Homo-oligomer: A and B are copies of this chain.
Amino acid sequence: MEKVREVESLDQSALQGVARMFDVLAEPTRLQILQALAGGPKYVGELCDTLSAKQANVSKQLGILHQAGLVSRERDGLLVRYCVSEPMIFELCSLVCGKLRRDAEARIASMPQARRPRKR
C-alpha cells in the first residue's frame, strides 16, 4: 500500500526524473561499467581494458553516470578514479535479475516435454 501510494502521487516532473534514472541504467555499456566498479574503484584506463571499449566512449558513459549521481570521480595525478556512489543500483539490478530469472524458469517449465535442464 505504501509504495503504491507513492507511485500514485508522482507528478509529471518526478516521473521524468525517474524515467531519466532508468534511462541511464538502460545501456549495456553503462551497466558493464557499474559491474566493473562493483569490485571497487577503478581508473578510466582500467575500465577501458576491462570492457575492451574505446576510451572516448568509456569517458562519455562515465560522464553520464557521474551526472546522474551514480558514480563519483577523484583525480589522482594524471589518472581519474571512479567508484560507485549509489549502492542502491545493485538492489535495482538484483530485483530485475530476479524477475528475469523467474521468467526464464517459467518459460522452461512450460516447454513441451523436452528434457529440461536440472534446476540449479
A interface residues with partner B (beta carbon < 8 Å)? 3-4, 6-8, 10, 12, 14-23, 25-28, 31-32, 34-35, 38-39, 69, 86, 88, 90-100, 103
The interface centre, meaning the residue of A27, A91, A93, A98 with most chain B CB atoms within 10 A of its CB, is: A93
* Oligomer: number of copies: 2
DSSP class of A's interface residues: helix, strand, loop or mixed?
Answer: helix
- Contact: B35 with A27, CB < 8 Å? no
Q: Kindly list chain B residues whose C-beta atoms are within 8 Å of the C-beta of A69.
A: 99, 103
**B28 in contact with A26 (CB, 8 Å):** no
User: Would A3 and B94 count as touching, CB distance under 8 A?
Assistant: yes
Residue of B8, B10, B39, B96 near A22 (CB, 8 A) is B96
